[in-house]
Amino acid sequence: MAAKSFINRSSFLEVKEQFSQQIQAMLAGGHSWSWLSQKIAEGLDLYLQTQLKKLPSFSQVEVVKLGSWSRQELCPRSDIDVLLLGSESSVLQFVDEAAKAHVRLQYRTPIDAKNWLEGVEDFDHLALMYAEALSKSDFSLQVESQKKRAWAQVTEVRDQIIDLMKEERERRNIRYDSLANYLEPNLKYGPGALRDLQQALVTVSFYPEVFKSYKKEVSYLENLKSFLLVLRHGLHLQGAGDILVASCQEVLAQQLGFSSRLEFTTKLQKNLSEINFYSQWIHELVKTNPIKIEQIKNKSIGHLGEAIDFLLHDDGLLAREKVREIVKNLDMDQAAQAKIKETIRCDLPEQKYLALFQSGIFYKAFHHLLRVKGLVQYDHYHRYTVDAHTLQALRFFCKTKSSPEKYLGKNKEWVKDFSSQDWDILLWALLYHDLAKGLKGSHSELGANIVIEELSALGFCSEFYNEVSWLVKSHLILSEAAFRKNPEDPSTWQWLMDQGVKPLRLKWLSALTAIDIMATNIEAWTPWKSDLLYRLVQQVLSPKVENFVVLADELEGVASHDVTEKFLSQLEPMLASSLPVEILKDEFVQLNEFKVKALPVRVWRQDDQYSWVRFHSYEDRKGLFLGWSKLLFASGCLVREAYVHTLDSLGAYNWLMIKTRKSTKVLTRQLNLKEEISSPTLPVRFNSIKLIETSKPGHWIIRFKGQDQRGALVGAVQALFDQGLQVHWARVHTWGDVLEDVFEVSGCDSSEVEGVMEKLRQNYC
């Protein structure tokens, strides 16, 4: 976290104005970022020196500038690192006076005034190597002498320092998964930021014999450092810390002369990627045998296929740097296309994908990937740029394929039987799913068209690329269905089917959805989302949904789309798995054609013990379901399940599963001949009668639960009728000797419902 600014309030506005003037001078004069960075550092250095020299005890101490101050990299919230020489009381007084002047010093004093390295850890040699005296005097000579002493010991300590820097870097990068392209990057500690850059440049200075032939690369990094320092300075002047939050990006873009925030952030993200790569490359270079370095440098690569083979054999950073230097001049010819198709497969290790990205191979092979390089996505969900997100998707693909239970949780169920082709289809869909971002229009639909165009050119068969195209087009629909729709609602299933979802596609899509979320932001892939996704896929793959979808297909064209859709939305989905589709289709036809008073009672025999009975009336009225229940009871039928509906414009429509040995013919004739029965109701008792919830104003859901007993359904419906309640729908189930009957009723308002419930419990519990 950046410290509080050492600039006092009275000077802060002046420094901000000076920054604006310096930017205008840079833009008007065509100067570089290095020029601007130097001007900023000189101004802050002068300000800080002036403030410290005003302190009463300044003459009693000697001040040695360390850290960013000595390197001319000061920013308004930089830590002020110094070495102080003088008596203990003078040093403490000076530090206290500085703090009161809003300059908080991070100081140390040498153990030995003649040898400042005495007792200093290897890592802290760095500070003394770049030390500078605060003012030109005889003391400056002493500082230079101590610096020479530190540099004289470089060869003894440099390997240890390099190892310590690597460990520190790895600890920092765990948080970022080693990717530089965070949309709100930390300009000091993030991957590819100033700390990485400084450590890389220190490494260069430690090994001049290694980097004498890499002056161009080092100069490039120096210029990138200047750009980041300018950004950090501007960010601090906005009152922010080291994290370039979205709210500050627009202001900086305008201040620095960029045409848009997008242009600014794209440049920044590309720079962070470059620093991230080259800082790692520098550390690997000094640890590599010189013979191997020469072998890589002298490697002859004539076409893209050879470059790919080279990386598949050696995916190290030196090999990646070798390829990225030449890849722009290589042609993407037919041989290269064939090599790309051969290489990108589901069994390619994660490290190889990283190498293909960082070497520039993927940006050469897929021009839309190059177009979205550094492209920022302005939302509160994505953590990376589009190209970095794509790389993350491929990396999480490899992790998921290797350890499905670890990454998918219960959703591993859907990938357990995947073939190599299934995994390959998923892989290519992940590669292309966001590559149309930045174009005008739906990136899903445009991406699907790009897939067909490019995968056909690569030589894939139409069956393969059409499935990849469908996945790219549909890659957001499962998130919509799982996280924003009701997985139990038939309209959700129908919506998915209308998008082209089939069982295997659904399994592909479940894995793609999970990996896409992980690659977007691993913290967004929560157990809650994993569970919602699993429940949806499980539901859609269940027999009841499969049969429901078949029924929906069969009903297409029987009536208007609106009538059919309303019927399906109100029909209990379990009926589709309990009754033959042809019966339900015939029912729907009759419901839309008969239109007299009611359809005749219908009976369908399921097996030797159980039959299904359907009652219907175009006019729903109070007591109707009670009459039908009594009719079944009087006919000697035991109700095991019941699905009671009130369908818009189609009336009361009820199916009940009964236990009976009567033939279909006998039972049908018996039920159609009998009028409403007025036989007495048997006394029944329930373990509990509970008000579950309010479904809508004036409607209530009531549950009866207890032991299975003769006449239980009639008793429950009679109880509701006696309280003046009308049944709108019911779900009646019996498991073994336990029954659970749930009813939606109306007929009382909120002031009466508790009284009604009390009477029901008194009479039937």
Starting at the edge strand found earlier in the chain, the sheet holding 602-605 runs: 602-605, 610-617, 651-659, 638-647, 726-735, 738-746, 699-707, 688-696
> Nearest to residue 454, comparing CAs of 438, 436, 441?
436
What is the pLDDT, as a whole number, of residue 1?
Answer: 39
* Residue entry with tokens 């530089």: 180
* Residue entry with tokens 């191979």: 361
> Nearest to residue 530, comparing CAs of 517, 539, 543, 545?
517
**Alpha carbon distance 173, 182 (integer Å):** 12
Task: Output the pTM of the full model.
Answer: 0.74
Yes or no: say if 84 and 64 are a contact pair by the CB < 8 Å rule: yes
Contacts of 156 (CB under 8 A, 6+ apart): none
**Alpha carbon distance 37, 354 (integer Å):** 33
What is the pLDDT, as a whole number, of residue 391?
Answer: 96
Contacts of 3 (CB under 8 A, 6+ apart): 77, 78, 79, 80, 104
Instruction: Please count the other Cβ atoms lying within 10 Å of the Cβ belonging to residue 13.
Output: 11
Pairing of strands 738-746, 699-707: antiparallel
Contacts of 746 (CB under 8 A, 6+ apart): 698, 699, 700, 725, 726, 728
Locate 276 and state its tokens.
């991230």
Report how far apart, in Å, the C-alpha atoms of 643 and of each of 237, 268, 284 are: 68, 62, 70
**Alpha carbon distance 457, 435 (integer Å):** 17
What is the pLDDT, as a whole number, of residue 150?
Answer: 87
| pLDDT tens digit sequence for 53-103 | 999 999 999 999 999 999 999 999 999 999 999 999 999 999 999 999 999
Pairing of strands 80-85, 638-647: unpaired
Locate 186 and state its tokens.
């930390």
DSSP type of residue 238: T
Q: Which residues pair with 696 in a beta bridge?
A: 699
Yes or no: say if 87 and 66 are a contact pair by the CB < 8 Å rule: no
Yes or no: say if 536 and 487 are a contact pair by the CB < 8 Å rule: yes
Locate 565 and state its tokens.
């859709």
Yes or no: say if 149 and 110 are a contact pair by the CB < 8 Å rule: no
* Residue entry with tokens 């919506």: 495
Contacts of 239 (CB under 8 A, 6+ apart): none
> Nearest to residue 62, comparing CAs of 5, 149, 136?
136
**Alpha carbon distance 45, 132 (integer Å):** 12
Instruction: Please count the other Cβ atoms lying within 10 Å of the Cβ belonging to residue 562.
Output: 8
**Alpha carbon distance 465, 669 (integer Å):** 58
Instruction: Please count the other Cβ atoms lying within 10 Å of the Cβ belonging to residue 406.
Output: 10
DSSP type of residue 597: S
Instruction: Please count the other Cβ atoms lying within 10 Å of the Cβ belonging to residue 347.
Output: 10
Yes or no: say if 647 and 601 are a contact pair by the CB < 8 Å rule: no
**Alpha carbon distance 454, 582 (integer Å):** 44
DSSP string, 377-427: --SSS--B-HHHHHHHHHHHHHHHHH-HHHHHGGGGGGTTT--HHHHHHHH
Yes or no: say if 400 and 393 are a contact pair by the CB < 8 Å rule: no
| pLDDT tens digit sequence for 590-641 | 998 877 788 999 999 999 889 999 999 998 888 888 888 888 888 888 888 8
> Nearest to residue 423, comparing CAs of 394, 449, 384?
394
Yes or no: say if 469 and 451 are a contact pair by the CB < 8 Å rule: yes
What is the pLDDT, as a whole number, of residue 176?
Answer: 63
DSSP string, 523-534: GG--HHHHHHHH
Q: Which residues pair with 732 in a beta bridge?
A: 642, 741
Q: Sign of dihedral through CA atoms 21, 23, 29, 35?
A: positive
Contacts of 85 (CB under 8 A, 6+ apart): 61, 62, 64, 91, 109, 110, 113
Residues lower than pLDDT 70 in the chain: 1-3, 136, 176-181, 378-381, 674-682, 694-695
Write out the H or E segment, with its range, that includes residue 740: strand 738-746
Report how far apart, in Å, the C-alpha atoms of 760 and of each of 344, 498, 629, 730, 733 are: 68, 45, 19, 17, 20
Locate 548 and state its tokens.
């429901």
Helix (H, G, I), strand (E, B) or coil at 660: coil
Percent helix / strand / coil, the chain, rounded to 5: 60, 10, 30
Helix (H, G, I), strand (E, B) or coil at 283: helix
What φ, ψ does residue 719 adopt, rounded to 5°? -60, -45
Report how far apart, in Å, the C-alpha atoms of 15 and of each of 20, 74, 95, 234, 606 are: 9, 13, 24, 10, 87
User: What is the CA angle 70-74-76, rounded to 5?
Assistant: 150
* Residue entry with tokens 């890589």: 296
What is the pLDDT, as a whole number, of residue 126?
Answer: 81
**Alpha carbon distance 678, 63 (integer Å):** 106
Cβ-defined contacts of 461-468 (< 8 Å, 24+): 464/421, 464/424, 464/425, 467/425, 467/505, 467/508, 468/425, 468/428, 468/429, 468/432
> Nearest to residue 467, comparing CAs of 458, 479, 475, 476?
475
Yes or no: say if 536 and 478 are a contact pair by the CB < 8 Å rule: yes
